[in-house]
């Protein structure tokens, strides 16, 4: 392994001072970054361990708009089991518990989960081409083994998917991300935090060099009663999603007042299904409407061979997740 510097600052200011250069990586739980370093996928000059920062805690803020704030260093397992989260945002709790394994959830943080990189095998194997790891080296997956790969928002350069479950739920819940840098504080809508690959697949997200994720803020909603996270995978635990669907429904008298839908395992970012949400708004919660919504959601999907099945599995999973959220049996 290449020699690197490791620091563990005690204050936020000293972290912000330490992360201004590319080649510096922020270390939180380390459950993905350390793997990437071992495999030679990334070789930072400097690791800034932020575990000493007070970026923990889950709290309700009762301002103009009621929100819940989750510290960037909260553990995935702690968030999943938190009383406020379980009561107000069961979707997030379900998504977190669908991710990784208990051991990993006990190490992985909220901010780290957002920053985890794709699990595309070509990205991980430094002997293979990958535009994300090494720009302009080619995409190994496009004509290679692409069973796990994207069907939405792909580019000529990259068809990788973002592997997170938590992020799919946060995208559905209209969360926003608080980031700090020496320039100050800014808020990024969660759906704009991750990006599509386009011409620059090496960039996973819109975080700039020098920026630190400090909190995730989730606005109050009425989805708690009718939420569901469906994860279809090759084994019951510790497997990435073939397809996952996050659903939040606000159902009043059998009609859908508001719907939130996002998918995982299909794109370079958590994939919000806005057209389907629009369609469902004001409609009765019926299987027929769910089928129509699923069909709208699939517009523009494109597969690459091994992942052709996703064109069938994705709409089926949307219908199943919606039916579960609406408690139709």
Partner 1 sequence: MKQQAQHTPPFTEGINRVDGIMKVTGAAKYSAEYELPGMTYAVFAISNITKGTITSIDTKAAERAPGVLAVLTHLNAPKVPGYEAGKDPSKPPTTGGPLKFFVDNSVKYNGQPIAMVVADSFERATYAASLIKAQYNKQQHETDTEKNKFKAAAPKGGRNGGDYKRGTPDDWKAAAVKVEQEYVVPINVHNPMELSVTLAHWTADDKVTVYAKTQGVKSTQNAIAQAFKLPVENVQVTTKFVGGAFGNALRTWPHEIATVQAAKLVKRPVKTVLTRELQFNTVGYRPYTWQKVSMGASADGKLTGIIHEATAQTSSFEEFTEGTVNMTRFMYACPSVGTVYKITPLDVNTPTWMRGPGEATGAFALESAMDELADKLGIDPIELRIRNHADTDPENGKPFSSKNLKEAYEMGADKIGWSKRKLKPGTLTEDGWLIGYGMGTGVFGAGRGRATVKAALLDNGTLLIQTSVTDIGVGTGTAMTQIASEIFTGIPVKKIKFELGDSSLPPSPTQGGSTITSTVGGAVHDACTQLKEKFQQLIGNGGTDKPDYVKVLKEKNLPQLEVTVTSSGSTEMRNFSSYSYSVHFVKVKVHPKTGVVRVDNVVSVADSGHIVSPKTARSQIIGGAIGGIGMALMEEGIMDHRYGRYVNNNYADYHVPISADIPQIDALFVNKPDYRVNPMGAKGMGEIALIGMSAAVANAVYNATGKRIRELPITPDKLLS
Residues lying near partner 1 in the complex (CB under 8 A): 1-2, 40, 101, 119, 121-122, 125, 127-128, 140, 143-145, 147, 230, 232-240, 242-243, 308-309, 312-313, 316-317, 319-320, 329
CB of 6 to partner 1, least distance (A): 14
Output 6 or 309, the one with its CB closest to partner 1: 309
CB of 174 to partner 1, least distance (A): 27
In eight-state DSSP terms, residue 268 is S
Question: Is the sign of the CA dihedral 7, 10, 11, 14 positive or negative?
Answer: negative
Tokens of 31: 């459950």
CB of 124 to partner 1, least distance (A): 8
Output 187 or 238, the one with its CB closest to partner 1: 238
CB of 1 to partner 1, least distance (A): 5
Output 64 or 236, the one with its CB closest to partner 1: 236
Output 277 or 320, the one with its CB closest to partner 1: 320
Sequence-separated contacts (24+) of 96-105 with Cβ below 8 Å: 96/165, 96/166, 96/169, 98/165, 98/229, 98/231, 98/241, 98/244, 99/164, 99/165, 99/166, 100/31, 100/76, 100/238, 101/237, 101/238, 102/77, 104/31, 104/76, 105/75, 105/76, 105/77, 105/80
The CA angle 313-109-78, to the nearest 5 degrees, is 90
CB of 38 to partner 1, least distance (A): 9
Output 180 or 310, the one with its CB closest to partner 1: 310
Output 136 or 329, the one with its CB closest to partner 1: 329
Q: What is the DSSP string of 67-119?
A: EEEEETT-BHHHHHH-HHHHHH-HHHHHHHHHSS-HHHHTT-BHHHHHHPPP-
CB of 52 to partner 1, least distance (A): 25
Phi first, then psi: give them for residue 12, nearest 5 degrees.
-60, -40
Tokens of 283: 């409609």
């Amino acid at each position: 392994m290449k020699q690197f510097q490791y620091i563990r600052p005690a204050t936020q200011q000293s972290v912000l001072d330490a992360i201004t250069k590319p080649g510096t990586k922020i270390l939180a739980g380390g459950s993905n970054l350390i793997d990437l370093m071992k495999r030679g996928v990334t070789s930072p000059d400097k690791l800034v361990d932020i575990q000493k920062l007070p970026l923990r805690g889950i709290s309700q803020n009762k301002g103009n708009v009621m929100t819940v704030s989750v510290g960037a260093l909260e553990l995935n397992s702690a968030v999943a089991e938190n009383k406020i989260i379980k009561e107000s945002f069961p979707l997030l709790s379900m998504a977190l518990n669908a991710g990784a394994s208990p051991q990993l959830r006990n190490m992985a943080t909220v901010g780290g989960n957002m920053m985890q990189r794709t699990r595309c095998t070509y990205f991980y194997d430094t002997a293979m081409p990958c535009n994300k790891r090494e720009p302009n080296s080619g995409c190994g997956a496009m004509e290679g083994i692409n069973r796990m790969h994207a069907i939405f928002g792909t580019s000529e350069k990259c068809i990788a998917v973002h592997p997170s479950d938590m992020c799919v739920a946060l995208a559905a819940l209209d969360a926003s991300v608080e980031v700090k840098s020496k320039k100050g504080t800014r808020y990024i809508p969660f759906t704009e935090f991750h990006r599509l690959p386009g011409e620059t697949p090496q960039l996973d997200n819109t975080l700039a060099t020098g920026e630190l994720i400090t909190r995730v803020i989730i606005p109050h909603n009425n989805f708690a009663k009718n939420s569901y996270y469906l994860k279809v995978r090759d084994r019951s635990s510790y497997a990435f999603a073939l397809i996952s669907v996050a659903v939040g429904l606000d159902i009043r008298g059998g009609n859908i007042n508001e719907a939130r839908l996002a998918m995982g395992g299909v794109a370079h970012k958590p994939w919000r299904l806005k057209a389907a949400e629009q369609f469902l708004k004001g409609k009765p919660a019926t299987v027929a409407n769910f089928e129509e919504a699923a069909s709208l959601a699939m517009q523009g999907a494109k597969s690459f061979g091994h992942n052709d099945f996703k064109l069938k599995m994705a709409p089926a999973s949307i219908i199943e997740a919606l039916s579960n959220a609406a408690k139709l049996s």
